[in-house]
């Protein structure tokens, strides 16, 4: 089974690219979505987060804004968070891959924003980086309602876009039209999975 890695910085357009793969019948795992499930009320990460970050969980509900503010200004706190979340996400990903393999799928797409940052590149048949010009990226992220300081902190913690592009097998540029993005992704799919 071909395992395709999808990565890129915040606001680059990974979700759009993943949806195109899904529309072509390729099962997609989204690490960000999995993090939200793990951190939702009753999620497997809640007890560990409550212990590691006192005051961020109230009545079983994680205050994501408070946690984000804490870890973006404290490197040790970020490492604690990663030590909790990365193994849980990796477990969920392994279950997803196993299910796809058992179902006879020829390929899966794993959307991992921190693919390179976590040293995961050796786990993939091919890696796609999604990229957009800085002004487009910033505009997309601002629409999410995050404070400007948090946007800057998140981008600063991620590997530079140029480095991600350099290390990828394919680059999808999303700064133009959706039609242009779809055309690029379809070309990659045809190259990876000839019919």
Note the pLDDT tens digit of each residue in 133-163. 998 988 888 888 878 888 887 888 888 999 9
The pLDDT tens digits of the residues spanning 40-60 come to 999 999 999 999 999 999 999
Higher pLDDT, 175 or 48: 48
Dist CA 46 CA 44 (whole Å):
6
Question: What Å distances lie between residue 62 and 12, 89, 159, CA to CA?
Answer: 26, 17, 27
Do 194 and 116 fall within a single domain? Answer: yes
CATH value at residue 70: 3.40.50.300
Dist CA 82 CA 67 (whole Å):
12
Dist CA 16 CA 19 (whole Å):
5
Do 195 and 113 fall within a single domain? Answer: yes
Nearest to 155, CA basis, from 127, 175, 135, 172: 135
What's the rounded mean pLDDT across residues 32-41? Answer: 95
Residue 190 has pLDDT above 80, yes or no: yes
- Using the structure block, give the residue that is written with the tokens 């099962």: 27
Quick one: pLDDT band at residue 67, thresholds 50, 70, 90?
very high
- According to the 3-state scheme, what is the secondary structure of 95-114? HHHHHHHHCCCCEEEEECCC
Quick one: pLDDT band at residue 18, thresholds 50, 70, 90?
very high
Number of domains in the chain: 2
Q: Please answer whether residues 138 and 11 qualify as being in contact, where contact means their C-beta atoms are separated by less than 8 angstroms.
A: yes
Dist CA 78 CA 63 (whole Å):
16
pTM of the predicted protein model:
0.88
Which of 104, 134, 164 represents a domain boundary (last residue)?
104
* Terminal Cα distance for the chain, rounded: 15
Do 89 and 157 fall within a single domain? Answer: no
- Using the structure block, give the residue that is written with the tokens 């700064």: 175
Which of 104, 124, 152 represents a domain boundary (last residue)?
104
Do 41 and 9 fall within a single domain? Answer: no
Domain hosting residue 43, numbered range: 35-104
Do 99 and 115 fall within a single domain? Answer: no
pLDDT at position 118 is 87
pLDDT at position 195 is 64
């Amino acid at each position: 089974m071909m395992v395709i890695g999808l990565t890129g910085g915040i606001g680059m357009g990974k979700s759009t690219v993943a949806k195109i793969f899904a529309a072509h019948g390729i099962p997609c795992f989204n690490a960000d979505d999995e993090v939200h499930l793990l951190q939702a009320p009753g999620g497997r990460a809640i007890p560990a987060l409550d212990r590691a970050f006192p005051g961020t969980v109230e009545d079983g509900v994680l205050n994501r804004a408070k946690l984000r503010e804490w870890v973006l200004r404290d490197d040790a706190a970020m490492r604690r968070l990663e030590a909790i979340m990365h193994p849980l996400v990796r477990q969920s990903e392994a279950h997803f891959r196993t299910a796809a393999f058992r179902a006879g799928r020829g390929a899966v797409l794993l959307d991992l924003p921190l693919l390179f940052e976590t040293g995961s590149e050796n786990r993939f048949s091919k890696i796609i980086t999604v990229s957009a010009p800085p002004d487009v990226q910033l505009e997309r992220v601002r629409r999410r309602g995050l404070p400007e300081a948090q946007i800057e902190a998140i981008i600063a913690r991620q590997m530079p876009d140029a480095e991600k592009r350099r290390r990828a097998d394919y680059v999808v540029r999303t700064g133009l039209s959706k039609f242009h993005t779809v055309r690029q992704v379809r070309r990659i799919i045809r190259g990876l999975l000839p019919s």
